[in-house]
Structure 1
């Protein structure tokens, strides 16, 4: 029984070191992380535009195939206005579905770097949480700078964000 436990420890240690030596990829740098973050955002935006157009076209195609009396109001509104609103609603729902498709596409494109990207992303978000100022001190004349860090796409942007956060803290302390 004791021998089996020693064997399992040796086996797991060997398996872990084997995995460590098999991974030949370099760790993801911050510059590469920010490039991937920008790529992810762009893919999500473009897919949102295409799915929004697709949603509008599908809704327009459906509404074009049903028979509506143009002289009879729908819930008290002009039928053409209602149809335009429904096409706009279809485009909006399609746009909301876009980032889901974009995320799937991003994961397929960057399959080899995805695990490292997720680790860097969690580290980045931890840094944001640690360095962001308290939003309860914001006012109309002193808005909080980019609370979620959505506009940070480079080390330069991150440094500027840190400076903006420090300026916010300083203004909040001086004027309260």
Structure 2
């Protein structure tokens, strides 16, 4: 019973400390590439902020699709995200007329 709790404690500590230590170690070993990666990430996040739909346009029945761009993992997904944002923007700002 005690060994089970100790095992779970070590597992939890490793899960919490592992990414921090691993990330710091990676940044230390790849110092020459870190600035380039950080610059690309800042540029990407600024593009996300520039192209996302205004949150004041959302309603309870039609929330903004993926506001923070959390599901973007590739160029294809980024382009799909842009299309979804524009589609939502057109739907909310220019509603279709019913005949």
- Give the structure-1-normalised TM-score: 0.42
Give, in whole Å, the separation in 2 of the partners of 1:143 and 1:111: 41
Aligned partner (choices 159, 167, 174) of residue 79 of structure 2: 159
- Taking only aligned residues, the RMSD between alpha carbons, in angstroms, comes to 3.1
Give the conservation status (yes or no) of the 8 Å contact 1:142–1:171. no
- Give the structure-2-normalised TM-score: 0.68
Please say which structure displays the higher CA radius of gyration.
1
List gaps (5 residues or longer) in structure 2: none
For CA contacts below 8 A with separation 6 or more, give which structure has more relative contact order. 1
Aligned partner (choices 122, 130, 134) of residue 42 of structure 2: 122
List gaps (5 residues or longer) in structure 1: 1-56, 62-86
- Matched residue SS, 1:150: coil
- Matched residue SS, 1:133: coil
Query: Once superposed, which parts of structure 1, at least 4 consecutive aligned residues long, lie more than 4 Å away?
Result: 93-99
- Matched residue SS, 1:112: helix
1:147 has 2:92 as partner: no
Equivalenced residue count is 92
Give, in whole Å, the separation in 1 of the partners of 2:35 and 2:3: 36
Give, in whole Å, the separation in 1 of the partners of 2:56 and 2:4: 43
